[in-house]
Structure 1
């Protein structure tokens, strides 16, 4: 069982970067939820825990402590960049203490290649930093910066749901390659069901267990959950 700790950056009182009518916290959550849904739909033996699934405030220590106590195999933090309005593109980070031959760097190399294949952003390269979520995690960790919210061209992509879906798929492809995930066997197509939580689609699933998982995730917080056959 592969245990992924998925961390949508910022949230709640911390909006992250803001520009062009967009907030980083909303984009990171959207991409992370798409990553979760794709993994649950397409791969076997994957257990996903998220630092947040709604617009809630979580401190950096809460995130890393939660991942460490849960015993995650990998920590993936999703972010969006900002700088001066002209900077643009994709980059990702591992901790400064790690060598380019470390296992974490090897995982990152696979992730980087798969994400940059599909994100249609300029490639700013593989970088290192002393970020809290990279330093305080007991497992390998990666932080991805998916475009610049204050750059007009990148912001148009960030605004697109189809682009965010492609970026999520790139992350999933990277995880599958890095950790040798097993794709679920294809069977005769079943009916597709949408899970709608308080008027917003949470996901669309064919597998009964994925439908039940989606309901369970929202059962304590939602006022209304609808399962609708497509």
Structure 2
């Protein structure tokens, strides 16, 4: 499965700016976290519209996904305008599958964000939703110009929570499975460390033999030297 991750804005387009934050920086950080987490799933190929601070036209972003033959397109943004909370968007003409994906992903993100206002599942004629040929969702993750939201967005832990919610939603929507944990390899005898311990010295051999027997009963290897 090919997933294209789109960090909103970039380069000479910083997006919204407020409270010492720039939208383009936050979206890139979140998208990189999402990509890293998605690497833990089987059969997932992750593509990015940008991985650094560069400008891309909206049509270029959609074209990257279309050219790659992506199965899903996710565009990440930070809101502005004095509100608070999270909302997600699909195109007004989105098909039933895209709407179903939005329902699942939106719900998982809200679970991850905790006590955050749910602004709802919406529709908009955004270029990246209109021009992409695959199911596409755009998320608006809190308001950069709201002091309380901005305080959360300044926390790396909170950005990870945002990313985690997106990943949980994508995994649930598309039935992704985590890669199996590699089993620890059994060490060979040569690789195992052996430690020799000398315990006591006895003038009476019988006392030494008695200790050896006790050690053997407990599973230790013991000899008289």
- TM-score interval, normalised by the smaller of the two chains: 0.7 to 0.9
Which of 172, 179, 184 is matched with 1:184 structurally?
Answer: 179
Residue 116 (structure 1) aligned with residue 110 (structure 2): yes
SS in 2 for 1:63: helix
Q: Provide the rounded CA distance (Å) in 1 between the counterparts of 2:144 and 2:183.
A: 42
> Matched residue pairs, number?
184
CA distance in 2, matches of 1:10, 1:132: 13
What CA RMSD, in Å, does the superposition of the two structures yield over aligned residues? 1.2
Q: TM-score, normalised by structure 2?
A: 0.80
Normalising by structure 1, we get a TM-score of: 0.78
The corresponding residue for 2:43 is: 45
1:186 deviates by 1.9
| Cα distance in 2 for residues equivalent to 1:92 and 1:12 | 24
* TM-superposed deviation, 1:182: 1.5
**1:71 match:** 69
Shift of 1:189: 6.8
Q: In 2, Cα distance between the equivalents of 1:33 and 1:50?
A: 9
Q: What secondary structure does 1:37 align onto?
A: helix
CA distance in 2 between partners of 1:19 and 1:128 (Å): 26
Aligned residue in 1 for 2:3: 4
Task: Pick closer, same or farther for the CA change 1:187–1:90 going to 2, 3 Å.
Answer: same
Aligned partners of 2:27 and 2:42: how far apart in 1?
A: 24
Whole-angstrom CA distance in 1 between matches of 2:184 and 2:35:
21
Report the Cα distance in structure 2 between the residues aligned to 1:52 and 1:119, rounded to whole angstroms: 25
Q: CA shift at 1:143, angstroms? A: 0.1
In the alignment, what sits opposite 1:104? Answer: 98
1:35 & 1:133 partners in 2: Cα distance? 19
What is the 5 A alignment of 1:1-230?
2-40=1-39, 42-84=40-82, 87-98=83-94, 102-120=96-114, 121-188=116-183
- Structure 2 unmatched ranges of 5 or more: 186-225
CA offsets, 1:200-230, max 9 Å, x none? xxxxxxxxxxxxxxxxxxxxxxxxxxxxxxx
Instruction: Give the number of the structure whose residues are more often strand, by fraction.
Output: 1
| CA distance in 2 between partners of 1:15 and 1:142 (Å) | 21
Deviation string 1:176-198 (CA, Å, 9 cap, x unpaired) is: 001111111123479xxxxxxxx
Residue 202 (structure 2) aligns with: none
- State the secondary structure of the residue aligned to 1:65: helix
Q: Which runs of 5+ in 1 are unaligned?
A: 191-230
Match of 2:199 in 1: none
1:24 deviation in Å? Answer: 0.2
- CA distance in 2 between counterparts of 1:98 and 1:39 reads 24
